[in-house]
Amino acid sequence: MAKQVGFIGLGRMGEPMALRLVAAGYELVVYDVRPESVAALTAKGARAAASPAEVASAVYTVLLSLPTPPIVREVAAKVGSGSKVKTVIDLSTTGATAAREIAAALATKGITAVDSPVSGGVAGAVAGTLAVMVAGPRALCAELEPMLAVFGKVFFIGERPGMGQTMKLANNLLSATAMAATAEAVVFGVKSGLDPAVMCDVINAGSGRNTASMDKVPRQVITRKFAQGFATGLMYKDVRLCLEEADAVGVPMSVASGVRALWARANEELGADSDMTAIVQLIERAAGVEVRGK
């Protein structure tokens, strides 16, 4: 496939992914609403565009990495007005419903949509170790795989638009649940006199092991850094989307409903821009303790 591609959305995830493409020899045409984000890419050799439509008039393939479904819809519509684009790859998390609607709208303009959300956080984006969940026409996805493999391990999820999004929401529901439940468990232990570091060591050697106990609590909570790199507002959005999609297909999710309520509180009380690991502070405040290293 052509080594010249467009990249729109140079945020916490988008910038390191775009930089990996540049390092892999791809010629990028980039756009972001923040000039400083564009400058970080042009300094590495990318070419700046003045709008999403300009990006889509310069290349056949455009990648999107954007924060919310409404923004993805808006930008996809603008990309659809480009004169050259034939494939739009959405790396964002929008949910299956939005992915199908965006794909249908782009199809009327002769553009094929591929939903390809990623998981693994900012560290994974920098290291190229993300899980890349691809849904779209099989032959096209096979053609795109070498480029997407720059980001990490590529998984072909299915041919129908939105299947990658369903996979991503299921994954992030588990991630959100692990963080919330582990926060409660560790605060419970600390309030009862246990050392949180020892708790994580025991949990990680036993059946309670999960991504929060292995990484987020030891590295971000106990150290009080709260710098995992994924915002509370985005995690709440993903859990909310998952519940909405589950309701649409008739799957009851009582555990997820409780998880959503806790993330809604975190979003309201800690702020959408707070780090997702800060959710532990909700439980700490109620318990009157802090999870700190000794």
Angle between helices 232-249 and 96-107 (to 10 degrees): 80
189 and 106 in a common domain: no
- CATH number where 212 lies: 1.10.1040.10
Residue ending a domain, among 133, 159, 185, is 159
Neighbours of 169 (CB within 10 A): 24
Residue ending a domain, among 131, 159, 187, is 159
User: What is the rounded average pLDDT of the residues 114-131?
Assistant: 94
pLDDT tens, residue by residue, 98-110: 999 999 999 999 9
Inside any domain, residue 292? no
User: Are the C-beta atoms of residues 32 and 54 closer than 8 Å to each other?
Assistant: no
User: What is the rounded average pLDDT of the residues 221-237?
Assistant: 95
Residue ending a domain, among 137, 159, 181, is 159
User: What is the rounded average pLDDT of the residues 202-225?
Assistant: 97
User: What is the rounded average pLDDT of the residues 135-160?
Assistant: 97
85 and 49 in a common domain: yes
Inside any domain, residue 124? yes
Say if residue 2's pLDDT is above 90: no
- pLDDT for 1: 46
As a whole number of angstroms, the distance between CA 279 and CA 272 comes to 11
DSSP 95-139: -HHHHHHHHHHHHTTT-EEEE--EESHHHHHHHT-EEEEEES-HH
181 and 153 in a common domain: no
113 and 144 in a common domain: yes
Say if residue 86's pLDDT is above 80: yes
Query: What's the one-letter identity of residue 234?
Result: L
153 and 13 in a common domain: yes
Helix (H, G, I), strand (E, B) or coil at 76: helix
174 and 155 in a common domain: no
Say if residue 76's pLDDT is above 70: yes
Inside any domain, residue 294? no
Query: What's the one-letter identity of residue 222?
Result: I
State the catalytic residues: 168
As a whole number of angstroms, the distance between CA 66 and CA 211 comes to 24
Taking phi over 0 as left and psi of -120 to 50 as alpha, with beta for the rest, 40 belongs to alpha
152 and 89 in a common domain: yes
> For residue 164, how far is the Cα from the chain centroid?
12
147 and 96 in a common domain: yes
178 burial (CB, 10 Å; 0-12 / 13-18 / 19+) is buried
- CATH number where 74 lies: 3.40.50.720
pLDDT tens, residue by residue, 188-212: 999 999 999 999 999 999 999 999 9
User: Are the C-beta atoms of residues 293 and 222 closer than 8 Å to each other?
Assistant: yes
Inside any domain, residue 183? yes
Inside any domain, residue 293? no
Inside any domain, residue 255? yes
154 and 170 in a common domain: no
Inside any domain, residue 130? yes
**Domain with 208 in it:** 166-287
196 and 75 in a common domain: no
- pLDDT for 293: 83
- Angle value at C-alpha 216, between 210 and 221, nearest 5 degrees: 130
260 and 233 in a common domain: yes
208 and 146 in a common domain: no
> What total number of domains does the chain contain?
2
Say if residue 37's pLDDT is above 70: yes
As a whole number of angstroms, the distance between CA 50 and CA 230 comes to 28
Say if residue 14's pLDDT is above 80: yes
Across the chain, mean pLDDT equals: 96
First-to-last CA distance in the chain? 54
